[in-house]
């Protein structure tokens, strides 16, 4: 390359860096406009710092110019990948950094073609057909029970807890959730309960021990299936309940009551009608069902980082979408409760337990996994507390049931 060409290349490089730094400075200003109290800094690859405050509470450091460029182009997906790889460091409170980033609401801008293609690729790769569903669930839930035991409660509940009192421990709050659910379903001794996506069996076991039900749970995670049945045998409940390694679409029996906690997010948009139709076939006429699911108030794009690295095949539906499909299926909707802040606190407690055991996690996996899981738990907590994510308990009956109580007193009376 001659001298003229070299000079042009240097000028283009300088202009590109100036433009990139201007974009990062604009981002800092956007954050300040979204939250006047924001205290955040961006430390660049060359040591320069762009800040909203003289003494920032949170600093994001880009290890290279390429990482900064990718972050500006691909937003949350690039941030998740770079943070996991140690190419973006966060000094200060990670949750606060995520909250400030969420305040900008990148989703208000139209997604780029690249972002659309990334979402499409994640969707096509992980559609929840019967074949893909097993792979998708195994990717997250079959990482080993030892991992989940480090940060979940004693019953291994991997869903939103219910904090009746501010001082409730995670263990107590998960028992509260089971009790709250059982009361809404008005379970009675001898009734048949189906638990779709039963996880490690906590809800089914609680209902059998405390309400005398008989029932079946299903999961397509082999780890969960084996753990749940070991636990059922240890407790001597084999004559009351069982957990089968089966896709919900293959369950054939009829049940008095229906529950699904934290599974609906894995059904997939195109399979929601099929899920509802199957649920109605499983539930007796007039029988009660409860769907406990993460959702949104309105339709919005999914998170490509979560879809790719944490929950492949997941889809977060919006409430109107769920309710409309329930109505078309023939369900009568009785009650909708939003437990958003309960899930934010649940995730905070999971994240705290995770950090208390982080050395064990690092030995089991590696530093990359630690950073990925840390980001997942904290980002989800922030999403419930400050973002668009909700969690709903939707109580319904299969057709009309005119024998139900006129009030919800049975749900909220004092615990024994």
Active-site residue list: 380
Task: Work out the number of other CB atoms within 10 angstroms of the CB of residue 125.
Answer: 14
Sequence length of the chain is: 416
Asked whether 76 and 303 are in contact (CB, 8 A), the reply is yes
The rounded distance, in Å, linking the Cα atoms of 81 and 88 is 9
| Helix (H) / strand (E) containing 261 | strand 255-261
| Helix (H) / strand (E) containing 243 | strand 241-245
The rounded distance, in Å, linking the Cα atoms of 37 and 27 is 15
Q: Which of 218, 181, 194 is nearest to 395 (CA)?
A: 181
The rounded distance, in Å, linking the Cα atoms of 89 and 81 is 12
Task: Work out the number of other CB atoms within 10 angstroms of the CB of residue 104.
Answer: 17
Contacts of 364 (CB under 8 A, 6+ apart): 144, 146, 147
Asked whether 257 and 187 are in contact (CB, 8 A), the reply is yes
Contacts of 22 (CB under 8 A, 6+ apart): none
Q: Which of 243, 253, 248, 256 is nearest to 192 (CA)?
A: 256
Q: Which of 224, 221, 218, 291 is nearest to 250 (CA)?
A: 218
Contacts of 72 (CB under 8 A, 6+ apart): 20, 23, 24, 27
The rounded distance, in Å, linking the Cα atoms of 72 and 79 is 9
Q: Is 258 helix (H, G, I), strand (E, B) or coil?
A: strand
Asked whether 276 and 325 are in contact (CB, 8 A), the reply is yes
Q: Helices (DSSP H) in 105-129: which residue ranges? A: 113-125
The rounded distance, in Å, linking the Cα atoms of 336 and 79 is 35
Q: Hey, which residues does 42 pair with through a beta bridge?
A: 50, 60
Q: How many CA atoms lie within 13 A of 77 on its CB side?
A: 21
């Amino acid at each position: 390359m001659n001298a003229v060409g070299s000079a042009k290349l240097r000028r283009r490089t300088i202009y590109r860096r100036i433009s990139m730094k201007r974009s990062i400075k604009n981002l800092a200003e956007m954050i300040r406009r979204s939250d006047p109290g924001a205290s955040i800094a961006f430390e660049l690859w060359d040591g320069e710092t762009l800040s909203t405050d003289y003494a920032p509470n949170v600093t994001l450091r880009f290890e290279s110019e390429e990482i900064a460029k990718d972050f500006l182009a691909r937003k949350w997906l690039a941030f998740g990948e770079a943070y996991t790889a140690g190419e973006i460091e966060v000094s200060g409170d990670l949750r606060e950094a995520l909250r400030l980033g969420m305040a900008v609401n990148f989703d208000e801008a139209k997604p780029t073609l690249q972002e659309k293609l990334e979402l499409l690729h994640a969707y096509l790769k992980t559609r929840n057909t019967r074949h893909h569903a097993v792979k998708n669930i195994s990717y997250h839930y079959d990482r080993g029970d030892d991992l989940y035991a480090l940060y979940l409660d004693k019953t291994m509940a991997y869903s939103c807890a219910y904090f009746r009192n501010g001082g409730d421990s995670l263990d107590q709050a998960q028992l509260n959730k089971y009790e709250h659910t059982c009361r809404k379903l008005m379970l009675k001794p001898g009734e048949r309960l189906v638990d779709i996506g039963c996880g490690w069996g906590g809800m089914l076991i609680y209902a059998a021990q405390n309400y005398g039900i008989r029932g079946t749970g299903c999961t397509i995670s082999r780890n969960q299936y084996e753990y749940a049945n070991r636990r059922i045998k240890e407790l001597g409940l084999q004559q009351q309940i069982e957990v089968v390694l089966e896709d919900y679409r293959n369950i054939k029996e009829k049940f008095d009551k229906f529950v699904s906690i934290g599974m609906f997010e894995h059904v997939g948009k195109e399979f929601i009608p099929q899920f509802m139709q199957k649920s109605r076939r499983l539930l007796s006429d007039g029988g009660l069902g409860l769907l406990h699911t993460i959702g949104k108030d309105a339709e919005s794009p999914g998170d490509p980082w979560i879809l790719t690295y944490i929950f492949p095949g997941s889809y977060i539906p919006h409430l109107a979408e769920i309710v409309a499909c329930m109505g078309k299926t023939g369900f009568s909707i009785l009650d909708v409760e939003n437990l958003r802040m309960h899930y934010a606190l649940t995730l905070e407690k999971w994240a705290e337990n995770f950090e208390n055991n982080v050395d064990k996690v690092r030995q089991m996996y590696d530093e990359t996994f630690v950073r990925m899981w840390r980001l997942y738990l904290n980002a989800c907590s922030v999403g419930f507390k400050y973002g668009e994510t909700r969690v709903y308990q939707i109580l319904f009956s299969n057709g009309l049931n005119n024998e139900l109580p006129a009030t919800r007193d049975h749900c909220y009376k004092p615990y024994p």
